Amino acid sequence: MYQLPLSAGSPVGRFRMRALIAAATGLALAFALVLALTELGTPTGETSPKPLLTTVPPHP
Amino acid sequence: MHRRAGLILLALAVFFAALSPLTRWYAFPRLAKIPADQYQDMVLVAKDATLLDYGTMTERKVPQVTIVQTLKGNVEASERIERTAGRDVVVWDGLSYVQGPDGEMVSKIPERYIFDAHTQEPVHARGEMVDGDPVRREGLEFKWPFLTEPRDYEYFDAQARITAPIHYKGTQDFRGVEVYYFEQTIPWTEVPFPRIMPVEGITRETVAKTGTTRWYTTVRKFWVEPVTGAPVYGEEIHKEELRGGTLLGDREKVTAFAGHVKMREDYIDHTVDLVTSQRVVVLLMTSYLPWGFLGLGLLLLALALYVEARGRRARGPGAEEPVTSEPVTA
C-alpha cells in the first residue's frame, strides 16, 4: 500500500495541503475565466444595409 | 505573512500557467471566427482585355474590364441555418459584377456561400447557389482557414461549379507580409451561360437553342497571409470562349473574354493594411497571450518559491523540519 510520508497534521503537511489548495484555486479560476469567455462568445451584429455593388467604387 | 504571500503567488502562478494552453487550444478555436455581419467589396481590373461584342458577335480589344465583387454577410440567414446545423455559420451573399470599358454591364453573377465561421468548411443548406443554380460546395472559396498550412487545399470554382486542388507553391514576401502563394488551374471546361446576359432579349435558354456552348479556363493565383487565412492579393488569367452552334455562323469559336485580372492598386493597399491589423489579433490569441501567460506563470512561481524561502530563513533554521509522525496508509 502507498504510504503518505507525512500526515496532514504536521506543519509541513499542512503547508503542502495549503499549497495544493492554492494551486487548485488558481487552476479552477483559469478554467472558470476561459469557460465564461467562450460561453459569452462574440456578438453576431446585423446585416449591413449597404447594397451588393453594380457600380465601380472610387476607393475602398 | 510571507507564507500567505507565497500561497497567493503560487495560486496566481498556476492561474497564468493554466491560462496559457487554455487560451491557445480552448479559447482560440472557439472565439476566432468570421463575423456573420461582414461586408466587403473588391475591385479587380483586366487591362487590354478581349471582350465579345454581343451585338455583332465579334471579339474586340478593350482598354479595361472591371470586376466589382461584393460579399455581404446575411445575419438572419446564418441564424436560421445555425439552429439546425448546431454550429456557428456564416452566410455570404455575393455578387460579381463585370463592367465593360464604357460602363456597360458584361455579366452579373450572384452567389450564396455558406460556411463554418471557425473552420471555413462549407455548410450545406437550402439557398446555397451560384447564379441561381443550386450547388454543393466542397473546399474553400474566397478565404483560407485561420492558421493556414503550407499545403494544397481544395478550392471551389464558381464558374465551373467544381472543386479542384489549389496548390501551395511556396512562401513569399508580399509588400512586407509573409504569404503563402497558391495556384489553381482549371482546364477548358464547359460552363453554363449567365442568367443575366448583356443584351436584352437574349437569355440562357435562347442561347441553348442555338447549340452554342460556353467554355472557360483560368489560372487562379492567391497570396494568402497564413495567420488570418486572408488573401492579400489575387490574380486570374481568365479566358472564355463560345463554341459551335448557329450563333457563331460558320466560325468554330469566338473569344468571349480574355484578360489578366488583377486587384486594383488602392484595394491591394487597403487589404494589406486590413490583414496586417487582423493578424495581430489572431497572433494575440495564438502566440502573444499564451507565451506571455506562461512566462508570467513561471515568474510568479519563482517569486512564490523565493518568498517562501525567505520566510523559512526568517523563521530560523529547523523551523520547517519535518515532524516525525506515523505514516498514513492509503
Position A54 scores a pLDDT of: 96
What residues of A are in the B interface, CB distance below 8 Å?
Answer: 1-7, 9-13, 15, 18-19, 22-27, 29-31, 33-34, 37-38, 41-42, 44-48, 50-57, 59-60
Read off the pLDDT band of B329 (50, 70, 90).
Answer: very low
User: Cell for B226?
Assistant: 497564413
Q: How much is the average pLDDT of B288-309?
A: 96
C-alpha cell at B38: 461582414
Give pLDDT, residue B150: 98
- Tell me what percent of the residues of chain B surpass a pLDDT of 90: 84
The mean-pLDDT minimum among B52-61, B110-119, B159-168 falls in: B52-61
DSSP B256-292: EEEEEEEE-HHHHHHHHHHHHHHHHHHHIIIIIHHHH
Nearest-CB residue to B322 (from A4, A10, A57):
A10
Q: In this structure, how many other beta carbons lie within 10 angstroms of the beta carbon of residue B276?
A: 15
Residues of A in contact with B43 (CB under 8 A): 56-57, 60
Q: How much is the average pLDDT of B68-88?
A: 96
DSSP B135-177: ----SBBSBPPSS--SS-EEEEETTTTEEEEEEEEEEEEETTE
- List the single residue in B23, B94, B270 with the smallest CB-CB distance to A34: B23
Residue A8: what pLDDT?
A: 53
Share of chain B above pLDDT 70, in %: 95
* Structure letter (DSSP) for residue B248: G
pLDDT, tens only, B197-234: 888 888 888 888 899 999 999 999 999 999 999 999 99
* Sign of the C-alpha dihedral computed for residues B261, B267, B269 and B272 taken in this order: negative
C-beta separation of B47 from B62 below 8 A: no
Handedness of CA B185, B169, B163, B69 (dihedral sign): negative
Q: Which residue of A has its CA nearest to B33?
A: A42
Task: Collapse the DSSP code of B37 into the 3-class scheme (helix H, G, I; strand E, B; otherwise coil) and give the result.
Answer: coil
Write out the three cell numbers for B174: 508580399
Q: What is the CA radius of gyration of chain A?
A: 28
Which is more confident, A42 or B18?
Answer: B18
Within 8 A of A60 by CB-CB distance, chain B residues are 41, 43, 266-267, 270-271
Side chain identity, residue A44:
T
Q: CB distance from B303 to chain A under 8 Å?
A: no
Question: What pLDDT, on the 0 to 100 scale, is given for residue B322?
Answer: 45
Integer Cα distance of B195 and B207 in angstroms: 11
pTM over 0.80: yes
| pLDDT above 90: residue B257 | yes
**B 120-149: CB under 8 A from A:** none
Write the pLDDT tens digit of every residue in B96-145: 999 999 999 999 999 999 999 999 999 999 999 999 999 999 999 999 99
Higher-confidence residue of A40 and B315: namely A40
The pLDDT of residue A10 is 76
Q: What is the mean pLDDT of chain B?
A: 93
**In which band, very low, low, confident or very high, does the pLDDT at B258 lie, cut at 50, 70 and 90?**
very high
The single-letter code of the amino acid at B319 is A
pLDDT band at B324 (very low <50, low <70, confident <90, very high): very low
Residues of chain B in contact with residue A54, where contact means CB-CB under 8 angstroms, are 68, 95, 97, 105, 108
How many angstroms away from the CA of A20 is the closest CA of chain B? 9
- Lowest-confidence region among B8-12, B38-42, B188-192, B193-197: B193-197
Any idea where the domains of chain B sit in the sequence? 2-23+285-315, 32-263
Chains A, B: CB contacts within 8 A come to 142
Average pLDDT over residues B82-109: 95
Which residues does chain A have within 8 Å of residue B79's beta carbon, measured at their own beta carbons?
44
pLDDT bucket at B312, cuts 50 / 70 / 90:
confident
State ipTM: 0.85
Residue ranges in chain A whose pLDDT is less than 70? 1-9
Q: Which of B72, B131, B65 is nearest to B98 (CA)?
A: B65
